Amino acid sequence: MLPSCVIPDFSIGVDLGGTNLRIAAVSTDGQLLQKVSLGTSTAGPDHVIGEMCDAILRLSDQYRGKGALLGAGIGIPGIIDLEVGVVRRSANLVGWENYPVRQEIERRLGARICLENDAKLAALGELWLGAARGVQDMAMLTLGTGIGGAIVLNGKIFHGMNGMAGEFGHVTVEPDGVPCGCGNHGCAERYASATGVVRMAREVIATGNTPALAKLAASDAEFSARSIYDLAMQGDPPAQRIFQRFGRALGILLADIVNVLNLDTYVIGGGVSSAWDAFSPAMFGELLERSTIYAATAPEESSGRERGSAPRKGKTIVTRALLGSDAGLFGGARLPTL
Ligand SMILES: [Zn+2]
């Protein structure tokens, strides 16, 4: 903790996941003051919001009188109606639809509350303190169970007509590909996500020519993207091909985004981005081949800049996120101050 005399004003970032509720107090100059993590229950929004507000009050009480609470930004996995302050749709928060989330939290805290989609807050965090620091225009892809997306223009999240801009996960990368829950076929997130990796692994196991993968699936109760990645890193060709397929899908998606938007920086985050070594060669290969803009503006080594170094003018930078799962907390704290 900092000495009280130097604590500036602060804000609160909240990451409201399906299983975890994480809250951070962050100073206006980007220092993490404190972070707490609570489990979320399925008891519904009333209960969860009550616990969240109690935790925020406890946290902010420690800093009140030293600096002012400027507000809180709350990241929610789903589609948010920003004007009304309600969750329109969330696969992870059952029973939250149309509950007056912002109004309830503002009533309990008496502070400015901003709701936002969690992937968009992660982009704001990376823009403020992470891989896109110093950049004005960027996009972020968060690779997890699906693909979250965000477009930032002139330092602000671009929402589109009703907050749904940046749904990169449901861009078609295979016209006749596998069906997606959204109703389309061949969506990017059916290939370039944790569930995509496991799905593709089960598909190749069914061919009967992948003894190491089949053994892993039989012995590992979780059979996760992580364990398939470990197998790829041990040199198993079928496991490596799954991540090449992953990289190819992601590269096709990125090539389209780069061609449409011509932004400075594209940040790849989320849990599965840690498999970067396994998928990024195929991703950069597709990008170079399919995007005329990327081919004309790629950094010389065409593998993105060194993590954390300054942006290079006129170059299209595709790089890994730097803040991990804290990106959304920083982005949430940043939002009420913009
Ligand atoms: Zn889809």
Q: How far away, in angstroms, is 166 Cα from ligand 1 center?
A: 13
91 or 232: which leads in pLDDT = 232
Q: How far away, in angstroms, is 189 Cα from ligand 1 center?
A: 7
Q: How far away, in angstroms, is 188 Cα from ligand 1 center?
A: 7
Q: How far away, in angstroms, is 175 Cα from ligand 1 center?
A: 12
Q: What angle do CA 247, 226, 171 make, to 5 degrees?
A: 35
- Given a contact cutoff of 8 angstroms between Cβ atoms, the answer to whether 74 and 113 are in contact is yes
Q: How far away, in angstroms, is 261 Cα from ligand 1 center?
A: 21
Q: How far away, in angstroms, is 183 Cα from ligand 1 center?
A: 6
Q: How far away, in angstroms, is 273 Cα from ligand 1 center?
A: 20
Rounded distance between C-alpha atoms, residue 27 and residue 67, angstroms:
9
Q: How far away, in angstroms, is 190 Cα from ligand 1 center?
A: 7
Which helix (H) or strand (E) segment holds residue 209: the answer is: none
Mean pLDDT in residue range 82-90 = 87
Q: How far away, in angstroms, is 221 Cα from ligand 1 center?
A: 27
Q: How far away, in angstroms, is 147 Cα from ligand 1 center?
A: 10
136 is written with which tokens?
Answer: 């004005």
Distances (CA, A) of 48 to 55, 97, 113: 11, 14, 16
pTM for this structure? 0.92
Beta bridge partners of 12: 25, 72
Q: How far away, in angstroms, is 158 Cα from ligand 1 center?
A: 21
For 21-72, what is each residue's pLDDT tens digit?
Answer: 999 999 999 999 999 998 776 678 888 899 999 999 998 888 877 678 899 9
DSSP 8-state class, residue 271: G
For 118-169, what is each residue's pLDDT tens digit?
Answer: 999 999 999 999 999 999 999 999 999 999 999 999 999 999 998 889 999 9
- Given a contact cutoff of 8 angstroms between Cβ atoms, the answer to whether 202 and 195 are in contact is no
Rounded distance between C-alpha atoms, residue 198 and residue 180, angstroms:
15
For 200-250, what is each residue's pLDDT tens digit?
Answer: 999 999 999 899 999 999 998 889 999 999 999 999 999 999 999 999 999
Q: How far away, in angstroms, is 169 Cα from ligand 1 center?
A: 6
Q: How far away, in angstroms, is 265 Cα from ligand 1 center?
A: 24
Mean pLDDT in residue range 165-177 = 96
